[in-house]
Amino acid sequence: MHLYPGPATGLALLFGFFIVPMLVFLSHGTARIDSAKQRFLTAIALCIFAWGIIIGAMMMMGRSISWPDILAGSMILFTAIVAFGILWSLVCWGFTTSLLAALCSIDGAANRYAWFHAYGGGSSIADFTDDRLSILLGLGIAKIDETSVMLSGRLGYVIASSVIFLRRFYGLPDE
């Protein structure tokens, strides 16, 4: 069994973990990117770019790098991006953790209304619905008019059907 990674795989392991210091770098000082989404996308783009540049430079200098090695390296980078993406979304937008943080910020006990008011910074449940709906509208999966929300074309229907299928596949109860 070969335990040593090839050059593309080894570099992917390095740059996969490098996403974290890159995110820290882009979070402070003059390099700071205000939008959390843009910050994450920039960090992963820089890591992929650096990985690709180094692989390309090594190949141009005559170093033999096999395609399975590049494929394995791509999969390792992909794994790191998805794993850190899940953690990043939990830290930035995690619903349950944000609710807990909001309750901790209130002085004394709170009823549900006051608790949610603290979570949304004064927003109502309707504002929260709009916030979550904005993802679907932004992706073009749903559209909205003055009174109602609807699935948008074939893409919306396909994705909605996929969600229902996947919930059943994983044994989750129907909505």
Sign of CA dihedral 17, 20, 26, 28: negative
From residue 55, give the alpha-carbon distance in Å to each of 3, 41, 60, 79, 114.
Answer: 20, 21, 9, 19, 54
Q: By CB under 8 A, what part of segment 141-170 binds other proteins?
A: 141-142, 144, 147-151, 156-157, 159-161, 163-164, 166-167, 169-170
Q: Does 48 bind other proteins (CB under 8 A)?
A: no
Q: Does 57 bind other proteins (CB under 8 A)?
A: no
Q: By CB under 8 A, what part of segment 67-96 binds other proteins?
A: 67-69, 71-73, 75-76, 78-79, 82-83, 85-86, 88, 91-96
* Cβ neighbours of residue 72 closer than 8 Å, sequence gap 6 or more: 5, 6, 8, 9, 12
Q: Does 64 bind other proteins (CB under 8 A)?
A: no
Q: By CB under 8 A, what part of segment 91-120 binds other proteins?
A: 91-104, 108-112, 115-116, 119-120
Q: Does 17 bind other proteins (CB under 8 A)?
A: no
And the tokens for 132?
Answer: 């979550």
